[in-house]
Amino acid sequence: MRIELLGVGGAFSPPEAGHTSALIYGGLNLLLIDCGSRVFDTLRRRDQEDGLDRISHINAVAITHLHDDHVGSLGSLLFYRYYVLGKETEIFCGDQLRPKLQSYLSAVLGDRVFGRPGKDLHLEAPAASGTVYSWGCAEPTPGIHLRPRQVLDAPGEPDYGFTLWEKTGKPESSVFWSGDALFGRFVEDGDPWGFQTDSCAGLLFCDCSFSPRYPQTVHAHLEEYKALPEHIQERIVLVHHNGDVERHKKEIEGTRLQLGVPGAVYAL
């Protein structure tokens, strides 16, 4: 599995940090995780720079939640793929997010586009929690499993992370993507994420604010990651951060934590 970071910033990070988003490479197809307001422009710029034509190969999008820095250019991406490229796009999300995402897309795209069976959008989100989606399964790609996990349960604002793994892979070749998440949601209830166990994902892309923790926070904070054992830190890539890369690099000195930067590519 290969992961390319498109952006690593949050809603108020500097433009060069982008909005936290990633591409998962599955054979000839790409899965996009989140599509904030800066992401579509980032994709077009990257495609123009290296000629890889990512937008044409993004046949699926996984959405963590509905903040603008996570869905703000989703409509543009879907419109472009449908009207310019003539391609359909599959969408994955958690079950509690489904009705809100459907309402959002209906408002953004209009009923004339959304909800026509067999046409451009296919919103995958069954009623049962913990459902595993399969993506990229066409030969010769072995396929990737995608499981949404709720990581923040603020009233009326369902927020999901995703665990991804190749069908033929081992735990160490899996990926955890946190979305916007409180740190405690990673480790409570007997450690359901495998965050502190030997079966932990090979890479964990984790929400991290470099600001001091505050009572109403909806994010994990650097001080919490610094308290983790080194064998866990070395698996963590910090994303959705404040975007001051040079300062953040100094702030994580002495730890095994990795700082996510735009354009970085990881392979498992």
Concatenating the DSSP letter of every residue in 155-204 gives TTEEEEEEEEEETT--GGG-EEE--S--THHHHTTT-TT-TTSTT--SEE
Domain residue extents for the chain: 2-267
Backbone phi, psi, residue 175, to 5°: -130, 140
Q: How confident is the model at residue 92 (pLDDT cuts 50, 70, 90)?
A: confident
CA distance 143 to 47: 25
pLDDT higher for 94 or 187? 94
What is the model's pLDDT at position 183? 78
| Element containing residue 256 per DSSP (H, E) | none
What is the model's pLDDT at position 144? 81
Please state which of the ranges 58-72, 133-147, 228-242 shows the lowest mean pLDDT: 133-147
pLDDT higher for 54 or 103? 54
What architecture is the 2-267 domain classified under in CATH? 4-Layer Sandwich (3.60)
Helix (H, G, I), strand (E, B) or coil at 253: coil
Backbone phi, psi, residue 117, to 5°: -55, 135
Asked if residue 234 lies in contact with residue 259, where contact means CB atoms within 8 angstroms, the answer is no
Is the preceding peptide bond at 155 cis, omega within 30 degrees of 0?
A: no
pLDDT cut 70: percent of the chain above it:
78
Look at the alpha carbons of 178, 34, 238, 241 in this order and tell me if their dihedral is positive or negative: negative
Residues 6+ apart with CB under 8 A from 61: 31, 32, 33, 34, 35, 74, 77, 89, 90, 91, 92
